Amino acid sequence: MKNFIYLWVFALLSLATVGCEPLEDINEELEANAPEFNNDGNAVPYTLTEDDYSDLKLDDNYFNDEDEARALIPALLEQQFPILGNGSLVEVTFMVNDTLEPSFYTVVEADYSAAGLETDYFPNFASVQGFLEDEFSQSLEGDLVELSYRVQAEVIEYELVDADYSFAATELEDEYPAQASNLARFGNFNIQNNSSSAWSLDQIVEAIGLIIDENFGNDETKVYNVSYNAYDGSDVNRNVGVRFVDGEYVVESSLATSYTLSESDYDLIGVELASDYPGPAANAARFSSFDIRETSGNYWRPEAILEAFNVVLKDQFPSAVDGSKFNITYAEFPGGATREANISLIKDSGNFVEDNEPTIIVADVTRVFSLTEGEWNRPLELDSSLYQNEFGQRFSNFGDLEDAGYFIGLYLDQLFPYAQPGDYKSVAFRYYNGSRTVTKYGRFEFINGSFKYLPEVIETKLQFGKEDGEWLPDNTIVYVLAASDYDYVADQLGAKYPSETANLSQYGNFNTFSWDDAELLEAFNIILVDIVAPNAEVGQKYQLVVSIYNGSTVNANYALIKTEDGSWKYQG
């Protein structure tokens, strides 16, 4: 147990024993090195000066981050407060580069309604920007918001090209050597059963994910309907919907499968529907199209065309389940020349019927937005390759904020060669804080011909405590017992300690001639567990300022810490 009632007195006595030093010099040393120590348990306040930053070898009058402050301030406290002993607390005020921390907001159902939407999601990015403008109308340039919301995903049609197949083959040659070699040679995915170089659907999605990431980057709000060449004994065209979820590309099953009728499909229709529609069926097989002229003897009614699509889809996709969607491309002849047409179908009760409901895919996302030049947008995010290749860093991050500001500024100069004075950029970058890599945000303004880093320097405070002769960052909370606390202890322990609690009730203090350390700890546990800190985490420290009687009534400070079993014990 640490009791510091007479700490200041002991300090004076210690100084008084220094031989031959004039009394006025001792007083001056006290005033210079030991600000008034209040015996009420409160931490001694101290604000860093310009000289302090200079002594700590900091070029600017601020710390790069709080981790740097935690590491450097203890040596300064040892110099400034040499007479303070174990259990002492100092609250240090200092300046730190805050590097723009975002505020957090989750969009709830009422927000979508207030924005005039009939859905519980935003239909597009513009509506997200509009919400930010209304909800954060008082924000200043450079402010950041981390927003969790729902938004309709954008569906993008993409057809793989030769360069894509080559890229995927190179990327996956170590993981799937036989498949990659075949892909590089033929420019398609071999999907033949029992072939040693056959690609599974999961492998194809993995390859497509690499291609999408290379070409477009990963984005949870976009779904890609990808057409690709495959080989199942003959050349075929396939497609698959993919989206980026939880760090990987997965199949988006709700997306319609695209399918274009081939000559063999029209031949199949000619055979299967020859009895029901002999003229139209024969014409479709001959010309690979549907004659839609109502005056023609080979006229295909819409209902008959739908039957034809069922023939083809049931043949090509026998495992399709109810709810499966298909976008069909086919040829029709209205007279004059054949033209391309499209129809959306969905499988319902075993048959394919026209699908009139658009496919809407909603993504749940959390993103950081920055108010830049009067508009909410995503901060510029640096590609991981830049840190080592462009900025000369050892790893794919920065370990120093000054380096980050300097190199990112040079990069922005190259990226925006026509920037104008006053142009402003918000940049997200990777930063190693001494224990892990985190995302930081920096502001840059185009000033005098180049982008300058604008550190967000703010004033903050940290508390330090002295333990075993060493100053350490401290989470100690000081609590001064109230009159009701003494009454509560007396009520709770009255039956167990009748004489001690009677005295406590009468005088409102603990008589240390009758209360021993173990009994006091029991009383303090009751106060902390029942009243002051019922939800405190393990390791939390409290310094209780307690009125005691030890011959006279004085305040005493008791330092306690919460243990893993949920109880509190004395520190030390």
pLDDT, one tens digit per residue, over 526-562 is: 999 999 999 888 988 888 999 999 999 999 989 899 9
Q: Which contacts of 423-426 are long-range, i.e. CB under 8 A and separated by 24 or more positions?
A: 423/373, 424/141, 424/142, 424/372, 424/373, 425/372, 425/380, 425/451, 426/100, 426/142, 426/144, 426/370, 426/372, 426/379, 426/380
- Pair 342, 400 in one domain: no
Is residue 519, in this structure, part of any structural domain at all?
Answer: yes
The arithmetic mean of pLDDT across residues 77-90, rounded, is 88
Is residue 177, in this structure, part of any structural domain at all?
Answer: yes
> In this structure, what are the phi and psi dihedrals at residue 485, rounded to the nearest 5 degrees?
-65, -45
pLDDT band at 98; cut points 50, 70, 90 = low
CA distances from 136 to 112, 119, 367, 372 (A): 15, 22, 15, 13
Measured CA to CA, the distance from residue 277 to residue 297 in angstroms comes to 10
Measured CA to CA, the distance from residue 154 to residue 363 in angstroms comes to 10
Do residues 481 and 527 touch, judged by C-beta distance below 8 A?
A: yes
The arithmetic mean of pLDDT across residues 198-226, rounded, is 94
Which tens digits make up the pLDDT trace of 331-363? 999 999 999 998 999 999 999 999 988 788 899
Single residue among 254, 282, 312 that ends a domain in this structure = 254
Average model confidence (pLDDT) for the chain?
88
pLDDT of residue 446: 94
- Pair 347, 276 in one domain: yes
Is residue 21, in this structure, part of any structural domain at all?
Answer: no
Q: Which domain holds residue 145?
A: 101-152+361-376
Do residues 541 and 477 touch, judged by C-beta distance below 8 A?
A: yes
Is residue 75, in this structure, part of any structural domain at all?
Answer: yes
- Pair 505, 545 in one domain: yes
Which tens digits make up the pLDDT trace of 301-342? 999 999 999 999 999 999 888 888 898 999 999 999 999 998
> In this structure, what are the phi and psi dihedrals at residue 335, rounded to the nearest 5 degrees?
110, 140
Is 50 exceeded by the pLDDT of residue 7? no
pLDDT of residue 42: 64
pLDDT of residue 237: 84
- Pair 78, 113 in one domain: no
User: ∠ CA 446-66-139 to the nearest 5 degrees?
Assistant: 45
Is residue 19, in this structure, part of any structural domain at all?
Answer: no
pLDDT of residue 572: 67
At 11, which amino acid appears? Answer: A
From 144, 240, 161, select the one nearest 201 (Cα to Cα). 240
- Pair 159, 250 in one domain: yes
Instruction: Give the contacts of 280 (CB within 8 A, at least 6 positions apart).
Output: 273, 290, 291, 298, 299, 300, 304
- Pair 554, 488 in one domain: yes
pLDDT of residue 59: 79
Is residue 28, in this structure, part of any structural domain at all?
Answer: no
pLDDT band at 12; cut points 50, 70, 90 = very low
**How many percent of the chain have pLDDT more than 70?**
92
- Pair 310, 345 in one domain: yes
- Pair 168, 205 in one domain: yes
pLDDT of residue 146: 95
Please give the model's pTM, rounded to 2 decimal places: 0.55
- Pair 133, 170 in one domain: no
Measured CA to CA, the distance from residue 341 to residue 330 in angstroms comes to 5
Which tens digits make up the pLDDT trace of 244-294? 988 899 988 788 888 889 999 999 999 999 999 999 999 999 999 999 999
- Pair 106, 77 in one domain: no
Is residue 467, in this structure, part of any structural domain at all?
Answer: no
Is residue 461, in this structure, part of any structural domain at all?
Answer: no
The arithmetic mean of pLDDT across residues 166-194, rounded, is 95
Q: Which residues of 244-272 are buried (b: 16+ CB within 10 A; e: fewer)?
A: beeeebeebeebbbbbebeeebbebbbeb
From 411, 425, 445, 431, select the one nearest 380 (Cα to Cα). 425
Counting the structural domains of the chain, the total is 6
Is 50 exceeded by the pLDDT of residue 32? no
Residue spans of beta strands (DSSP E) within 122-221? 144-152, 154-159, 189-190
CA distances from 138 to 27, 114, 362, 371, 427 (A): 52, 18, 30, 11, 22
